[in-house]
Structure 1
C-alpha cells in the first residue's frame, strides 16, 4: 500500500511545477518524480505534468509566431489563463482524489 500523504504531496508538486517555469527547473521536477517514485499514481501524474509542460511550450511558440501577424495576443492571453487554471485544478484533484491521476483536457500526450 502506498502512503496517501506522500502520494498527494508528490502529485501536487508535479502539477505545481509549472509555476516555477521562470526558474527554468519546472520540467525537472516531474522528471525527477517519474524516476524516483515507485508509486504508479505519482508516475502517471508526473507524465501528465510533463505532457502539459510540452504542450504549453508548443502552444507558446505557435502563438508567439501568430503574434507577429497581430492575432496571437489574444491567444497568448488565453494560454496564460490556461497555464494558471489547469494546474490549480490538477493540484486540487491530486489532493482530493489520491487513487486516480489527473488528466489535462485538450493536450497531446507524448509520454
Structure 2
C-alpha cells in the first residue's frame, strides 16, 4: 500500500537536517539529524538525515586533514586550503537545503563524500 507523507513536514525536517551544520561546528549540530533519523517515519527524511550525518563526519575529517597539513607546513597550506574547504562546505550545505525544499520526492546526495551511516 502506498503511504502519503506530509510534504511540508518533509521539507522542514529535510532542510533542518542539512542546515544543522550552520548551527555550530561542535557535536551539537550532528545531534539534530541523528534525532530526526530516529523520530521520523518518512523514508525521504530518513535518507536526508543519514546524508547530513555523513556530511558532518566528512566535514570534520577534511577539517582535521587540513589542520594537520597546516601545522606541518607552518600554516601555508592551511592558508590556501581552509577558505576553499569553507566555501565548498557551506556551498554544498546551501545546495542541499535548496534541493530539499524543491524536490520532495528524492533525498539529496552530497558529491565526493564517504558514506559511513
TM-score > 0.5, shorter chain as reference: yes
Q: How does 1:24-103 map to 2 (within 5 A)?
A: 24-68=27-71, 69=73, 70-103=76-109
For residues 40-72 of structure 1, give each alpha carbon's deviation from its aligned partner in whole angstroms, at most 9, with x where no partner exists: 000000000000000000000000010021312
Q: Mark the structure with the bigger radius of gyration.
A: 2
Please report the RMSD computed on the Cα atoms of aligned residues, expressed in angstroms.
1.0
Secondary structure of the structure 1 residue equivalent to 2:47: helix
CA drift at 1:97:
0.3
CA drift at 1:25:
1.5
Aligned length: 111
**TM-score (norm. length: structure 1):** 0.96
**TM-score (norm. length: structure 2):** 0.91
Structure 2's unaligned 5+ residue stretches are none
| CA–CA separation in structure 1 for the residues paired with 2:61 and 2:11 | 28
CA drift at 1:23:
6.1
